[in-house]
Chain A
Amino acid sequence: MSSIVLQQAINGIVVGSLYVLVALGLTLIYGVLVQINFAHADIVTLGAFAAYGVTHLLSGNYLAGIAAALGLGAALGWLINAGIFVPLRERGSELLPLIATIGVSIMLQNAMLALLGPIPYAFDTPYSNQVIRLGTLFLTVQNVLIILVSGVSIALLYGFMKFTFLGKALRAVSQDRETAGLMGINPGHLIMLTFVIASALAGLSGAMLGPVLVLTPFAGTSVIVKAFAIVIIGGFGNVEGTILAGLLVGLIESYTTQFLDPGLIDIVVFALLLLTLAVRPTGLIAERREENV
């Protein structure tokens, strides 16, 4: 029994750490721009397919696939910011960019559906079948890789935000864009940088999620709705809260699968979301961002 609990804890952390990567991208963009990129989901999916394609083309070099997904994500982030968010910025509406990216998402999903079809792809990496045993527990090397890559990415991002000049500038822009501009920071450049980083993270998590998910053109949607729940439970724009909430949702998912029913995962997660919104709308870790609450 206790080994089942532990085993599911590992599975939960594996999936949860990938959700954290997706959710961090959303929350970073929200932090600097107070906008939501709905097509973030499709960057995850495209990252998964890019990794799949490159891995199979290069006869099983999964690491090259991950790099390709990272690059594709960064490029898409640049494109979506330049094409949608920059032109809409002066309108100052919080809903128009969201709606425009919903359109982008419908476009990308159906373009993938036309090219790749609705049948799930079997994405096996060379690491999926190598199992490490720890007593009664077991982990695939893929799982270890996921925890390592997401752990390192999260740590790098955290360090970047806290300790580098650029990271501080980013936080300055998210606190007060105009004052940051007066201090000689170019908010436009930093917003672009944020989009590129956030979308690269989304592509990366797609590459890592591809072998775990049912890989179809709609794979990202199931991830992104959970990522939305995570950023709200964690508090929008709050990095620590997002990490905590992401791991929490991963654990909820694996325990719901084990002890209740896999069909109930979304119901449990979103019930928690609505409960958070009703009781503590600023998220688990409160931050002063009252304008939406």
Chain B
Amino acid sequence: MSKTSPNAAAQSRERRVWYLIAAVIVAALPLFVTDSYWRTNLIVCALNILLAIGLDFVLGYAGQLNLGQSAFYGLGAYSSTLLVLKLGLPFWAAFAIGTLMAGAAGALLSFFAVRLRGHYLAIASLGFAVIIYQILLNWISLTQGPLGIYGIAPPPTVAFPGLPQIAFGDLRNLFYLTAGFTLIVYVLLDQMVHSPIGETLTAIREDEVSAASLGIDGPKWKAFAFAVSSAAAGAAGCFYAPLVGTLVPDAFFVSESFMILAMVIVGGMGTLVGPVFGAVLLTILPEFLRSLGDMRLIIYGASVTLAVLFMPGGIVEAFHLLRHRLFPEGEMR
């Protein structure tokens, strides 16, 4: 109902302006960042944003604590790479299958989310992440275990007749590819959470029984939220493999799930823009703290704890508070 109100129409227009600003930023970034080290960091940033907004969709909106994001990330990375290496599939076919496989695994895990809530789901998804990690580590004939897979090629060069070739070995093009994809996923998720789908998911988060009494099919929507969230992680994994060129199981240990969770919490759970800030901050900040060595992960942990204790709304809440302080009359809407 709220869709037709003039206020909602204005907000929807405002969101479209922000999409455009984000697209301009993505387009402009490689012009200022020319150094290959920082371009690689930008791509890692884009992948972390993809992982974080995916997790926030299931955690912040549907209220399901999923600690299995590292497993879906790993599933996407390994399945797409192995499909290219072992079956000779083209990269984009492997990308599609890898993303779908991760999404399907997420929908499968939601079977537990239907029967369990809160802590039980957190531990079930953690258990799932441990199992996937151990399979990657121990199925040596397929994954080469701890030795890893080396020399993974970048996505194939795109060549349209009459246009210059786009080679993804070039970090600038790979950045446009990953950041562009992330932006598209962001827009899709943002449209979804501002549609009746988002209202349905928050209804399940707030009170599942009441939601069911309104005719909301909880299990179906949870499966949907899990599938979307894990497919986003799977897609990030498909990009991760050719970016790094190497796959080892340790990249997908359960601690990776905690890192993604940290990005969502520090940024602001339950808003899509929050995890974007969280992912950027927690990806770029450690680069500046590199001289501190192990200190940077201590700061990582501290930021999560302090955010929960003092600023549970994350960066987004801090921003709102600051705006209220600066413009107390509320002239900014």
Contact = CB atoms under 8 A, between A and B. Distances in A.
A41 B307 CA distance: 22
A225 B128 CA distance: 11
A245 B261 CA distance: 30
Contact of A107 (B111, B261, B301, B312): B301
Given A96-B312, A103-B262, A228-B127, A277 B304 contact: no
Interface stretch (A60-68, A188-196, A263-271): A263-271
Interface string A98-127: 111111111111110110000000000000
A136 B4 CA distance: 81
Contacts of B122: 36, 95, 98
A125 to B, nearest CB: 29
Contacts of B131: 266-267, 270-271, 274
Given A88-B309, A270-B131, A106 B304 contact: yes
B124 A292 contact: no
- Chain A interface, DSSP helix/strand/loop, else mixed: helix
Given A106-B301, A107-B305, A110-B294, A270 B127 contact: yes
Contacts of A110: 294-295, 297-298, 300-301
Contacts of A98: 65, 119, 122
Of the four ranges (under 10, 10 to 19, 20 to 34, 35 or more), the interface on chain A belongs to 35 or more
Nearest to B300: A106
Contact of A278 (B112, B137, B300, B303): B112
A111 B305 CA distance: 15
Contacts of B119: 30, 34, 36, 94, 98, 236, 292
Of the four ranges (under 10, 10 to 19, 20 to 34, 35 or more), the interface on chain B belongs to 35 or more
A48 interface: no
A266 B309 CA distance: 33
B120 interface: yes
Given A232-B120, A267-B134, A277 B115 contact: yes
B129 to A, nearest CB: 9
Interface string B104-141: 00000001100111111011101110110011011000
A229 B123 CA distance: 8
Interface of A: 30, 34, 36, 84, 87-88, 91, 94-111, 113-114, 221, 225, 228-229, 232, 236, 261, 263-264, 266-267, 270-271, 273-274, 277-278, 281, 291-293
Interface of B: 65, 111-112, 115-120, 122-124, 126-128, 130-131, 134-135, 137-138, 254-255, 258, 261-262, 265, 293-295, 297-298, 300-309, 312
Q: Which 9 pairs across A and B sit closest by C-beta, in order of nearness?
A: A103-B304, A106-B301, A107-B301, A103-B305, A114-B294, A110-B297, A263-B138, A100-B308, A270-B127
